Amino acid sequence: MRSLSVVLLTIGVLSIFGCSPSGNSSAEKAAVAAAKAWLSLVDSEKYKKSWNEAATFFRRAVPKDKWQQSMQTVRKPLGENLSRKLKSKQYRTSLPGAPDGKYVVIQFRASFENKKSAVETITLMLDKDGKWRVSGYYIK
């Protein structure tokens, strides 16, 4: 299967390079919880709802129909999520290609029905409504 470049925003890939962490354990904890909730939507094939729950930045960059199509093409063929374990989390205040703000870049080791070993990188940002929301997603 081809490399899953579902990153719909450059921050999904670039966020782990070239940024110095500030560290904020309460933000990281809240963002991990939000990431798990959002990923459960994707795992349940609720792609429209996952787009609706994503950050404003994400929704402006990725049209809803394109997101749904990408998930159907790239994520659905992986099958059921069998496991997901936290690999890393990093608080950031700036990311390449994104406005300054509060971000947490999270990586999960994941296993799927049709892809036994994968790394999911998910970037969350503190949105205008004060909630941690997904602003980037990438599976490799």
Q: Which domains does the chain have, with CATH numbers?
A: 11-139 (3.10.450.100)
Would you state the pLDDT for residue 97?
84
Q: Where are the beta strands (DSSP E) in the chain?
A: 81-92, 103-112, 115-126, 132-139
Q: Output the six-digit token pair for 52.
A: 């609706």
Output the CA–CA distances (angstroms, integers) from residue 108 to 57, 65, 69, in the order listed.
Answer: 22, 26, 23
Report the alpha-carbon angle 77-81-85, nearest 5: 135
Question: Can you give the pTM of this predicted structure?
Answer: 0.83
Q: Which of 20-24, 37-41, 84-88, 101-105 has the lowest mean pLDDT?
A: 20-24
Chain Cα centroid distance, residue 140: 12
Q: What pLDDT, on a 0 to 100 scale, did the predictor assign at position 101?
A: 94
User: In the prediction, which pLDDT does 98 show?
Assistant: 86
Average pLDDT taken over every residue of the chain: 86
Instruction: Note the pLDDT of residue 17.
Output: 38
Measured between alpha carbons, how far is 9 from 98 in angstroms, rounded to an integer? 9
| Residue range 32-88, pLDDT digits in tens | 999 999 999 999 999 999 999 999 999 999 999 999 999 999 999 999 999 999 999
